[in-house]
Structure 1
Amino acid sequence: MEPRLSLVTLGVTDLDRSVAFYRDGLGWPTSHKPGDGVAFFKTKGTVFSLYPIEGLADELPDTDFKPVAGPCGITLAHNVREKQEVDAALKLAEAAGAVIRKPAADTFWGGYSGYFADPDGYLWEIAWGAFPIDDDGHLVLP
């Protein structure tokens, strides 16, 4: 299996609200139209999507599966090229309706980062300093 993450989908409680947050608030491009059952956002390297949380349970054969939106032991990360971009991204997210969960600060690993929660409580880290970013927006790993 090739090492690739093709699509990340968040189960959301209100698709229109979440689309507005990511599209209008954060400025992420999407072809989503009202009435579409899913929203796809083109990002660098991975497609990001939003899907009604109830629909996730319908896709799985396990009838005991109870999907819950929000933090579930993972965080999503958006790494930036310059330290000051962390504060700017957190301010943008907060203006779009996010809740700042951890203000930006220097980290134990020598970088600078902060966290926000989206409308469903999914945690996003905005980080600088861990890895360089190439011209295409991809992380450069050692």
Structure 2
Amino acid sequence: MEPRISIVTLGVSDLARSRAFYEQLGWQASAASNEHVTFFQAGGIALALYSRKALAEDAKLPDGECAFGGITLAYNVRDKAEVAAVLAEAETAGGRILKPAQDVFWGGHSGYFADPDGHPWEVAWNPFFTLNERGNLILP
């Protein structure tokens, strides 16, 4: 298996609401989207929005709400001040702030928001990582 991720799919309760949230944050839906699924290009991978119930059925998993699903998504920024700005943008779009921007133990600055379905996103400035001109993370 080659080490890569092609698509991250988020199970959502209301596809139109979730699509509108991400579009308000500046994401552009792909022409491959339809009434059942929305795709967004996210650097070298895609983010997909799909019915939570249908996603659970497809994966042969029970659909149950839980406080934390054991995964977060991360959005890295180029400078410390951008963390608070992105969190504010997410809140304005209808997201919920889980943790405000703050210095963190590992030497960076981060905060968290949840999208309308509660999927947690970390917004982080990491002084040890670099973002290229396209915003893709370059690990040391």
TM-score by length of 2: 0.91
Structure 1 SS opposite 2:123: strand
Structure with the larger strand share: 2
Unaligned runs of 5+ in 2: none
Q: Which amino acid counterpart does residue 94 of structure 1 have in structure 2?
A: E
Over the aligned positions, Cα root-mean-square deviation in angstroms equals 1.9
State which of 127, 130, 133 in structure 1 corresponds to 2:131.
133
- Detail structure 1 runs of 4+ shifted over 4 Å in the superposition: 32-35
Cα deviation digits, residues 43-84 of structure 1 (max 9, x gap): 112100100011113323x4xx21246740111000011111
Q: How far off is 1:109 after superposition?
A: 0.6
Q: Give the paired residue count.
A: 138
Partner of 1:15: 15
Structure 2 SS opposite 1:91: helix
State which of 104, 107, 113 in structure 2 corresponds to 1:107.
104
Q: Which amino acid counterpart does residue 22 of structure 2 have in structure 1?
A: Y
Structure 2 SS opposite 1:51: strand
1:72 paired with 2:69, answer yes
Residues 43-82 of structure 1: pairs in structure 2 closer than 5 A: 43-60=42-59, 62=60, 65-68=61-64, 71-82=68-79
Are the aligned partners of 1:9 and 1:49 in contact in 2 as well (CA < 8 Å)? Answer: yes
Are the aligned partners of 1:69 and 1:122 in contact in 2 as well (CA < 8 Å)? Answer: no
Identity %: 53
Are the aligned partners of 1:11 and 1:69 in contact in 2 as well (CA < 8 Å)? Answer: no
Are the aligned partners of 1:53 and 1:69 in contact in 2 as well (CA < 8 Å)? Answer: no
Structure 2 SS opposite 1:21: helix
Q: Which amino acid counterpart does residue 9 of structure 1 have in structure 2?
A: T
Q: How far off is 1:33 after superposition?
A: 9.2
TM-score by length of 1: 0.89
